[in-house]
Amino acid sequence: MLEYVVRKGDTVARVAAAFGITPGHVIQGNPWAADRPYLVPGQVLFLPSVQRRRYTPGEGVRVREVAEWFGVEPEALQVLNSGLPADGFCVPGRMLVIPARRRPRIVELRGEYGPRELEEDIDLLTVKYPFIHRETIGSSVLGRPLNVLRLGTGSRHLHVNAALHANEWLTSPSLLSFLEQYAAAYAEGRNWQGHDVRRWHDEWTVWAVPMANPDGVELVQEGAGHWHPRRLELEEWNGGRRSFRHWKANIRGVDLGDQFPAYWEEEQARRGRSGPSPRDYGGPAPLSEPEAAALAELCFRTPFEAAVSLHSQGQEIYWNYRGFEPPESRSMAEAMGAASGYRAVFLEGSDAGFKDWFIQEFRKPGFTVELGFGRNPLPLEEFEDMTTETGQILASLLSG
């Protein structure tokens, strides 16, 4: 058995991924973890031993050299070898445990996918594919950057956002993974599932906001422990529950999916929420939250032809809003549905969403896509299918 001391941000799935075992193995060695919503820094986990590569360095061997030889990250070496510096020299004669080799793809799940994983992957993507341009359109309530990735040089502009709802965070890596596949195909001069990505790149500019609610995503995944600056009020808004898995709102308890000025007052009356809550509270006023305001400002300054907001779950595509949608919206949604196996749905009785506001404000096609099927947060096993379906839906728009 290996002893591991939990660090901030650790979850059962993340620890399992770091050590090349399954979450079930972690629970097997630590049965108490099955009954607790989150790990707490300082707890000790007992992890089963697994067969791993080992290496004993000699004099003058740098940590980064070992990482490069074995195709792993220096940080991954540190996880398995306590006291090892991120840079500098290895201790001669001290055997190192070598983690699993890094995979060729950048965007992969190593447990839950949160703001930290997003920042790391964006850094790697923009280095590997310099034609992906990164901008910051604002900051979250807790000061995290709201990133937008721009891909393509065309005069037609498409907006896509993901993880507006905190417990729908699996939409973030699904969107980013498709962007990586698109970029790789373009860099290598090949098609993506039969689509000409060179045409996409020349005709369209895609603006992607992969995680619109980073504070909420972290809360869902890691909870509000003693370190959290808003722990007491979050616990109160959450009804005293320790688990935040069901949380959709931002860190101020405002549902960003009800924040947009499209019959906002009617939606608030329908929801019946008068204060901060895990879901359905639209805030004190439309666009009161920095995350929603940043999305609106991006749309005001960029002439988007269409916009897509990725949510989960249901495998449905909503395309209308109070008759404000242009006539082509329905056929576009049906084409997206045919490409992905999703159902194009005429939706009534819902207001104040991003899609609603975009259609009303600009009279352009706007879509809410409910990725995957199940209960939020969707299981990690849905990631590959959701990535493919995200690509099929966006490819339908880009090739149309």
Per the annotation, the verdict on 382 as an active-site residue is: no
Asked if residues 183 and 191 have their Cβ atoms less than 8 Å apart, the reply is no
Angle, to 10 degrees, between the axis of helix 171-188 and the axis of helix 383-398?
60
DSSP secondary-structure letter at 289? S
Question: From CA 253, how far away is CA 233, in angstroms rounded?
Answer: 9
Please state, in angstroms and as integers, the Cα–Cα distance from residue 49 to each residue in 10, 86, 98, 120, 265, following that order.
Answer: 19, 24, 13, 28, 57
**Cis upstream peptide for 28 (omega within 30°):** no
Catalytic residue (one of 289, 370, 382, 389) = 370
Question: Is the CA virtual torsion 337, 338, 342, 346 positive or negative?
Answer: positive
C-alpha 122: how far from chain center? 11
For residue 153, the tally of other CB atoms under 10 A from its CB is 11
Among 196, 225, 253, CA closest to 398: 196
Question: From CA 319, how far away is CA 329, in angstroms rounded?
Answer: 6
The structure tokens listed for 14 are 């993340």
Instruction: Tell me the catalytic residues.
Output: 370
